[in-house]
Amino acid sequence: MLVYRLYKSAYINDPLSAEGARRAGGRWNPKGVPILYTSATPELALLEIIAHLNPAFVPAFQLLVLEIPDGHRAVSITDLPVDWQAETEVESVQAYLADWLSTPNELTVSVPSAIVSRSRNYLIHILHPDFRTAVRIIENIPFAIDTRLLS
């Protein structure tokens, strides 16, 4: 299966590092836990970036296309806390995945997008023992964000 990730071109030398997620944390992971955020489509990956982008400064981005195994744990919206989409309530969502974050028994967890809940994001745990052999870079190309999307 193919998944897509937009990341800042400044990190082109290590596109699979998950260092940003480790340092800053995110909706699905607390600070200190390195996971890769990927999406089912390049369009969803773009929406996920735009939601957090400062329109006054748009850095250069790369589109990373990854091939990952088809099998994954799927999280249903009905299993999540009612406030799972709220920016201020990430602790409850992080707690939902605490077992997987501490013991990555699955390489990938599929989660609903907080922006387009019918679409899926794929969280890849880089500490899973099969990460280096199961995740394959298919493409890594420059990606320009059309600034009309930011106004």
The answer to whether position 150 is within a domain reads: no
With beta carbons less than 8 A apart as the criterion, state whether 37 and 26 touch.
Answer: yes
The answer to whether position 82 is within a domain reads: yes
The answer to whether position 149 is within a domain reads: no
The answer to whether position 151 is within a domain reads: no
Number of structural domains in the chain: 1
Burial of 49 (0-12, 13-18, 19+ CB in 10 A): buried
Please state the pTM of the whole predicted model.
0.94
- Per-residue pLDDT reduced to its tens digit, 103-131: 999 999 999 999 999 999 999 999 999 99
Beta 108-112 vs 136-143: how paired, if at all?
Answer: unpaired
Burial of 125 (0-12, 13-18, 19+ CB in 10 A): buried
- Per-residue pLDDT reduced to its tens digit, 23-33: 999 999 999 99
| Statement: residue 22 has pLDDT above 90 | yes
| pLDDT number for residue 114 | 95
How far apart, in Å, are the Cα atoms of 33 and each of 39, 49, 129?
19, 20, 15
| pLDDT number for residue 128 | 97
Instruction: For tokens 């280096």, name the residue.
Output: 132
| pLDDT number for residue 15 | 95
| pLDDT number for residue 151 | 74
The answer to whether position 130 is within a domain reads: yes
The answer to whether position 24 is within a domain reads: yes
**Domain enclosing residue 139, as ranges:** 2-144
With beta carbons less than 8 A apart as the criterion, state whether 104 and 127 touch.
Answer: yes
Mean residue pLDDT across the chain: 94
Burial of 97 (0-12, 13-18, 19+ CB in 10 A): buried
